[in-house]
Structure formats: structure tokens, C-alpha cells
Amino acid sequence: MNTPKYIRNAGKPWSPQEEKKLTKLARENTPTRVIGLKLGRPVGGVRGKAQELEVSLRPTNQSSYNRRK
């Protein structure tokens, strides 16, 4: 049986590098699903680790549109 690429790390322990990447991607407003794809983790795993690390996955309103100078 072939495991889909996006969950290749499901159930595996998180490495410090993955935790740093999760934090970085979350700060950059990357959608949770995309973070999961980049890290090879299911969305639930990404959410759980983010909560454990106290990293917010909520998007911050950083649109480059509608900015007034």
C-alpha cells in the first residue's frame, strides 16, 4: 500500500527543524493545509503541534491591498 506524500510523517516524532519550520510558516500566514503538505503531516497533526508550541495558526490580516499611506 502506498502512503500519500502529504502524510509521510504522520505519527512520527517532530524534529526540532520541523518545529522551527512550522513556527516560521505560521508566522508567514501559510494556510494550515499547506503547512501540512510542506511538512508531510496531516492537518490535525499540524494543529496539535502548533497548540503544543503555542503557535497561532490564525491568519493575520497582512494584505498588501487596501493599505493607506
Question: Over the stretch 42-66, which tens digit does the pLDDT of each residue have?
Answer: 999 999 999 999 999 988 766 555 5
Q: pLDDT band for 4, please (50, 70, 90 cuts).
A: low
- 37, part of any domain: yes
Say how far apart CA 30 and CA 50 lie, in whole Å: 13
Per-residue pLDDT at 5: 55
pTM above 0.85, yes or no: no
Cα atoms found within 13 Å of the Cα of residue 15, Cβ hemisphere only: 6
- 32, part of any domain: yes
- 62, part of any domain: no
Domain that holds residue 33: 5-9+13-52
- 21, part of any domain: yes
Say how far apart CA 6 and CA 39 lie, in whole Å: 8
Find, among 2, 36, 1, 42, the residue nearest to 22 by Cα.
Answer: 36
Q: What b/e readout covers 50-67, taking b as 16+ CB neighbours within 10 angstroms?
A: beeeebebeeeeeeeeee
User: Mean pLDDT score of the chain, rounded to an integer?
Assistant: 84
What mean pLDDT do residues 18-31 have? 95
pLDDT at 36 over 60: yes
- 68, part of any domain: no
